[in-house]
A and B are shown apart, each in its own frame.
Chain A
Amino acid sequence: MTGLLPRRGLAQILALIVILAVDRVVSPQFFDLRLQDGRLFGSLVDVLNRGTPVALLSLGMVLVIATRGIDLSVGAVMAISGAIAASLADTHSLAVVLAAALGAGLICGLWNGFLVAVLGMQPIVATLILMVAGRGVAQLITEGRIVTFSSPDLVWLGNGSILGLPVPVAIALGMLILTGAVVRGSALGLLIEATGGNARASELAGVGTRAMILAVYVWCGVCAALAGVIAAADIMGADANNAGLWLELDAILAVVIGGTSLFGGRFSLVLAVLGALIIQTMNTGILLSGYPPEFNLLVKAVVVLAVLLLQSPKLSGFAGVVTRLRGTKA
């Protein structure tokens, strides 16, 4: 991969700029920033902060999708890790809490990876199992209630700030850099793309496709667990019924908006995260606009359609033809 943002990122950046401009129109104070208790405060910060869970999910999801897989269980894994973190927060140190929560995510990822890579199940069905069961596990941990905590360390993870930036945003940025360094700093990314492009050919060429597939599901589980801890830390409680609910769909959407094909192969981490930001920029804009909530989903669907049309190769070909025709007429 030469450069992180080649020409293929243009459509996404364009979409983000357009949505930001629309946000500025519906909410004139959109770009206002100020410091509040040592922390940046403004709608832009909200976009980054609220976009963090989906951005983290998309970091794992993009690798899974690159192997031609999909992980529907990430929302449920968020609920599990959040429930574990909240239950342990007031009695254990932050290190133990994080180890337990992320460890649970790792085990969930291993389970998914085992079903897909070793047993050869279809990814959509294999991960559906944990999507359904996982929320039940989370509800068992919380006994169906919202488990609250007051541990200042864990609360800091959700609401603290580093150099004015909310901690979750800093964590997401760190994870992006870490994941990028690992998969693009080595041949790993290429091997993942090869697995997704053609698993059989890659296997014959000596790529350990099973290990690749197992590894991406594990990473996806860990990323989801981290998102779950942050979501719990944000509201100082674990809500097993609602934490991460339907976020798997937003994560898949973020990856697709980021231009990675659901048929596997080439992927981009940065564009997947950009996809998550596009979704959140739109969500925040909808909230700021003051339109009745009945329109939320409709607006979201129209914008997503527009962004995907922008990327459609057929349509851009069509646009090229139109401009050429106009050129000849004039």
Chain B
Amino acid sequence: MTLKALFAATASAALLLALPANAAEFTIGFSQIGSESGWRAAETSVSKQEASKRKVNLKIADAQQKQENQIKAIRSFIAQNVDAIFLAPVVSTGWDSVLKEAKEAKIPVVLLDRDIDPSGKELYLTAVTSDSVHEGEVAGDWLAKTVGAKACNIVELQGTVGASVAANRKKGFDTAIAKHANLKVVRSQTGDFTRAKGKEVMESFIKAEGGGKSICAVYAHNDDMMVGAIQAMKEAGLKPGKEILTVSIDAVPDIFKAMVAGEANATVELTPNMAGPAFDAVAAFKEKGTVPPKWIQTESRLLTATDNPQKEYDSKKGLGY
């Protein structure tokens, strides 16, 4: 099995990168979760782009959402004696023994997008992740600034109940608007991160709030729910983006389409570029011995209708979202 994985990884890396292996500065193995979402696909394509920019020989192993596949991939990377291992962990626990093996082989491990359970802090070099509380804050701050001193009733489309991202994005937003007495979340319900539920929940918000006239802004924990909510508002004869402000998180291509049409106002980017900062950290560590901080926070860029949404759409649409 290890041999097979090794062969597959080498073959795919050779296919993906037209570069001969000896021209690369580093060889890095990346154990990717699999294709669970559009964002994940975009992360994989951006990682490849960033690797070829830096002449890194990146070997990607697709784990198909299974931890045992990730562990196998890491062992095969250790056997190949790669310069570093990137890991996007599918679950947070159960990594101790395989990461110890990597540590003994003196191969630094960088976590991408997700952290693992605290017990392993000394087992990896650094973790490159986004701060989802901060994402909510950026969204809340934008809304507070845009609304000014006016009273504003906000409706909130939450992510899946129990998902930590949903809880964090809610917490960050609530913290940001708590400083402004004129902003109030009047309704909050889960839209399960999907377009269909986002639309259905928004329909009910519109009815519950007197046809939507008293709603001043919609905050959605992801763009997909907002795309659904925008449809619901249009069907109810409301004008999203003009009468009702919208702010959501993720920055998927379709929200920029809505911005171009003047139907969405702002989104906070969850960057698919986790590998870029990770490559830089590994290079600095290998060449100068600089030990990076345990946590590298990615930038949560605010993108609004004035930030050339057409350009953003064009640059993102080919990434696999």
B-contacting residues of A (Cβ < 8 Å)? Answer: 27, 29, 32, 36-37, 39, 41-43, 46, 50, 143-146, 148, 159, 231, 234-237, 239, 241-243, 284, 287-288, 290, 292-294, 296
Q: How far is the CB of B62 from chain A (nearest CB, A)?
A: 12
Q: Is B188 an interface residue (CB 8 A)?
A: yes
For residue B161, which residues in chain A have a CB less than 8 angstroms away from its CB? 293-294, 296
9 example contacts (A-B, Cβ-Cβ < 8 A) are as follows A27-B207, A43-B207, A46-B203, A143-B320, A144-B37, A146-B38, A159-B231, A287-B204, A293-B190
User: Is A36 in contact with B187, judged by CB distance below 8 angstroms?
Assistant: no
- Of B188, B189, B224, B227, the most chain A CB neighbours within 10 A belong to B189
User: Is B204 in contact with A242, judged by CB distance below 8 angstroms?
Assistant: no
Q: How far is the CB of A44 from chain B (nearest CB, A)?
A: 10
Q: Is B237 an interface residue (CB 8 A)?
A: yes
Q: How far is the CB of B7 from chain A (nearest CB, A)?
A: 24
Q: How far is the CB of B33 from chain A (nearest CB, A)?
A: 13
Contacts A36-B236, A46-B204, A290-B208 known; A243 to B320 CB distance under 8 Å? no
Which of B129-137, B141-149, B194-202, B301-309 contacts its partner?
A: B194-202
For residue B207, which residues in chain A have a CB less than 8 angstroms away from its CB? 27, 29, 32, 42-43, 46, 288
Contacts A43-B204, A293-B161 known; A242 to B196 CB distance under 8 Å? yes
User: Is B236 in contact with A284, judged by CB distance below 8 angstroms?
Assistant: no
User: Is B237 in contact with A37, judged by CB distance below 8 angstroms?
Assistant: yes
- Of B161, B190, B195, B321, the most chain A CB neighbours within 10 A belong to B195
For residue A143, which residues in chain B have a CB less than 8 angstroms away from its CB? 320
- Of A32, A37, A144, A287, the most chain B CB neighbours within 10 A belong to A287
For residue A146, which residues in chain B have a CB less than 8 angstroms away from its CB? 38, 195, 224, 254
Contacts A148-B254, A235-B231 known; A241 to B37 CB distance under 8 Å? yes
Q: Interface residues of B toward A: which range?
A: 20 to 34
For residue B228, which residues in chain A have a CB less than 8 angstroms away from its CB? 235
User: Is A144 in contact with B204, judged by CB distance below 8 angstroms?
Assistant: no
For residue A50, which residues in chain B have a CB less than 8 angstroms away from its CB? 200, 203
- 0 or 1 for each of B172-216: is its CB under 8 Å from A? (1 = yes): 000000000000000111101011100111011101101000000
Complex: chain B residue closest to A41, CB-CB: B236
Give the complex CA separation of A148 and B207 in angstroms.
Answer: 27
Q: How far is the CB of A286 from chain B (nearest CB, A)?
A: 8
For residue A241, which residues in chain B have a CB less than 8 angstroms away from its CB? 37
Complex: chain B residue closest to A44, CB-CB: B207
Q: Which of B158, B200, B224, B227 contacts A287 (CB 8 A)?
A: B200
Q: Is B35 an interface residue (CB 8 A)?
A: yes
User: Is B204 in contact with A292, judged by CB distance below 8 angstroms?
Assistant: no
For residue A288, which residues in chain B have a CB less than 8 angstroms away from its CB? 204, 207-208
Q: Is B287 an interface residue (CB 8 A)?
A: no
Q: Which of A145, A242, A290 contacts B320 (CB 8 A)?
A: A145
Contacts A41-B236, A145-B41 known; A235 to B203 CB distance under 8 Å? no
* Known A36-B237, A242-B195; further 12 A-B contacts with Cβ < 8 A: A27-B207, A37-B235, A50-B200, A144-B35, A145-B321, A159-B231, A159-B235, A234-B199, A242-B196, A284-B204, A287-B189, A288-B204
User: Is A144 in contact with B41, judged by CB distance below 8 angstroms?
Assistant: yes
Q: How far is the CB of B300 from chain A (nearest CB, A)?
A: 23
User: Is A27 in contact with B231, judged by CB distance below 8 angstroms?
Assistant: no
User: Is A290 in contact with B195, judged by CB distance below 8 angstroms?
Assistant: no
For residue A37, which residues in chain B have a CB less than 8 angstroms away from its CB? 235, 237
Give the complex CA separation of A159 and B196 in angstroms.
Answer: 13
Q: Which of A36, A43, A243, A293 contacts B196 (CB 8 A)?
A: A243
Q: How far is the CB of A120 from chain B (nearest CB, A)?
A: 33
Give the complex CA separation of A270 and B210 in angstroms.
Answer: 33
